[in-house]
Amino acid sequence: MSRIMSCSNGTPAILFRPSVLQRLPWSFSRFKETGEYGSVGNIKVAYVLDYTGYGVHEDGLKAGKSAAQGLLGQKSSLLVNPKQMVPSWTEAGARLVVTRFLKQYVTIGKMTILEEGGTIFSFGEVDKKCLVKTVLRVHDPLFYWKVATEADLGMADAYLNGYFSFVDKREGLLNLFLILIANRDAQKSSNSAASKRGWWTPMLLTAGIASAKYFLRHISRKNIVTQTRRNISQHYDLSNDLFSLFLDPSMTYSCAVFKVEDESLEVAQQRKVNLLIKKAKVERNHHVLEIGSGWGSLAMQVMKQTGCKYTLSEEQLKYAEIKVKEAGLEDRITFLLCDYRQIPSRSKYDRIISCEMIEGVGHEFMDDFFGCCESLLAPDGLFVLQFISIPEERYEEYRRSSDFIKEYIFPGGCLPSLARITSAMSAASRLCIEQVENIGYHYYSTLIRWRDNFMAKKDAILALGFDDKFIRVWEYYFIYCAAGFKSRTLGTYQIVFSRPGNDKLAYADNPYASLPAA
């Protein structure tokens, strides 16, 4: 090539190899192309090239394939080169914005973007702070536009619409979330000028417009009494058949407690139920109220163990009624299909249990919730609450914004911080905390089991009338939450509440009795 470049205008040049290949596969169809090559431009150049019937670049590819097969001693096939992405000028601009942002933002963990056609972008590097890596396959340049204009919700929408996928189909999405979480935390802990400049990027400025839109939609779903039922129905009334495909046989839809990693989901859910019963100290003569009882698994287990009277504030009513009747417990369990604010207060309950229901109450109504529990609980009663929690440092920002869960899964939802729970408790009741336990690290395993069950039943889900996008929404939901628990960004608390002066509080069992002396 250097020889051609050194030729003066009009001087012909010939490239050739000193040896001649034997048994050349010749075709007259190549005469036309050879003639055209020789007449390109003003400089007359004749190309004399090794020819095996595929063309110049294909020759190299075929030769490499032959060499690889000879070295490995096994046959292989060539991958078809996918269609090169051709973004519009707006999509090209979005790609520039997104890649520049990621180059600045992702400093720990390894994130690689592989476009259709072979273009590769790499961000960050694996180190001791973040050992995970992920490779995204971008199939459509709309991926960049979505991320540039809607940030995290845009990325979710791009995944749901199939604009990108992952090389590692099992761990890729989880690792992406873990990388983004690790870098978010690293950015927050850094006060460098670079991190401050990073906030005022075009991507975050444009994404702010979309964030405002989603936030306005979120606050329109405020959990007043008439709206709460609609918010609940959007998720829980999809189909009992759907939930039965990924939940354990007891249909328990909350964090399980695992003793060992390979334990069955059914056994782990039973352990969680037993843990709640033990903390509530339920006795046979008690009247128990469960607020947000799901499909009734906790109620039936309490009844089997204690024989007490039980009242359910029920959402999945028909299914629970059938199961209670099958168990022969209909004379001991009462169903109330109503909002927690509408539970009749004429009765006082010895025990109140609420498992992962308060997340649907909303920030503004936390005080009301505790006020209702105060009015319904007997003087010497216990209230056991299990809930998913977000760190206090992120709570104010989180509650004033929308995210994937609020937009696609639980409209009107709000994960409380531990401080928000205690402030609502003190503002609206005389309750005080007797015991606290964080079981959040078990939720990662629970969610992964649900995801695996869900994806294994893909054909059955499609047969119920749902589509591929619905399946991607739920896959994203399971992994989005799993990453939050794996990174300990989210927690799951079990709290026991009582009132001061409760002389019947049954915590006489000494939890330290079995521990050795110092």
CA 404 from centroid of its chain's CA atoms: 8
Residues 50 and 190 in one domain: no
Position 513 in a domain: no
Average pLDDT over residues 12-34: 49
Taking CB atoms within 8 Å and a gap of at least 24, the contacts of 311-318 are: 311/287, 311/335, 311/336, 311/347, 311/349, 312/336, 313/289, 313/338, 313/340, 313/343, 315/232, 315/236, 316/236, 316/240, 316/251, 318/240
Position 231 in a domain: no
| Interior/surface letters 372-394, b for 16+ CB within 10 angstroms, e for the rest | bbbebbbeebbbbbbbbbbeeee
**Mean pLDDT computed over every residue of the chain:** 81
Residues 191 and 103 in one domain: yes
Closest by CA to 253, choosing from 217, 214, 294, 221, is 294
Q: d(Cα 388, Cα 366) in Å, to the nearest integer?
A: 14
Average pLDDT over residues 86-101: 90
First to last CA, the chain: 83
Residues 253 and 346 in one domain: yes
Position 81 in a domain: no
Q: What angle do CA 17, 18, 24 make, to 5 degrees?
A: 65
Instruction: For residue 85, give the DSSP letter.
Output: P
What's the structural domain count of the chain? Answer: 3
Position 275 in a domain: yes
Could you give the angle at which helices 441-456 and 468-486 cross, rounded to 10 degrees? 160
Q: How many CB atoms lie within 10 A of CB 504?
A: 12
Q: d(Cα 413, Cα 439) in Å, to the nearest integer?
A: 21
Name the amino acid, one letter, at 54: Y
pLDDT at 243: 94
Question: Residue 278 is inside which H or E element, if any?
Answer: helix 265-280
pLDDT over threshold 70, residue 123: yes
3-class secondary-structure state, position 318: helix
- The strand pair at 491-498 and 377-389 is best described as antiparallel
Name the amino acid, one letter, at 486: K
Domain coverage including residue 29: 2-72
- Residue percentage of the chain with pLDDT more than 70: 74
Full strand arrangement of the beta sheet holding 164-166: 120-123, 110-115, 133-138, 164-166
Position 221 in a domain: no
CA 386 from centroid of its chain's CA atoms: 21
Residues 206 and 277 in one domain: no
The DSSP annotation for 154-173 comes to: HHHHHHHTTSEEESSTTTHH
pLDDT at 50: 46
Residues 95 and 62 in one domain: no
Quick check: 187 and 105 in contact, CB under 8 A? Answer: yes
Position 219 in a domain: no
Quick check: 372 and 399 in contact, CB under 8 A? Answer: no
Average pLDDT over residues 230-250: 78
Which of 47-51, 223-227, 247-251, 289-293 bottoms out in mean pLDDT, i.e. has the lowest?
47-51
Position 441 in a domain: yes
Position 32 in a domain: yes
Give the helix, strand, coil percentages of the chain, each rounded to 5.
Answer: 50, 15, 35
Residues 314 and 289 in one domain: yes
pLDDT at 205: 44
pLDDT over threshold 80, residue 89: yes
pLDDT over threshold 90, residue 436: yes
The maximal CA–CA distance of the chain, rounded, in angstroms, is 107
Residues 347 and 427 in one domain: yes
Residues 350 and 466 in one domain: yes
Residues 286 and 323 in one domain: yes
Q: Provide the strand spans (E) within 356-489.
A: 377-389, 432-438
> 374-413: per-residue pLDDT in tens?
999 999 999 999 999 999 999 999 998 889 999 999 888 8
Residue 379 dihedral angles phi and psi, to the nearest 5°: -55, -40
The residue among 153, 187, 211 that closes a domain is 211
Residues 357 and 422 in one domain: yes
pLDDT over threshold 50, residue 45: no
pLDDT over threshold 70, residue 32: no
The residue among 19, 44, 72 that closes a domain is 72
Q: d(Cα 109, Cα 134) in Å, to the nearest integer?
A: 9
- Residue percentage of the chain with pLDDT more than 90: 52
Question: Residue 277 is inside which H or E element, if any?
Answer: helix 265-280
- Whichever domain contains 422, its CATH number is 3.40.50.150
Residues 355 and 475 in one domain: yes
Residues 111 and 206 in one domain: yes
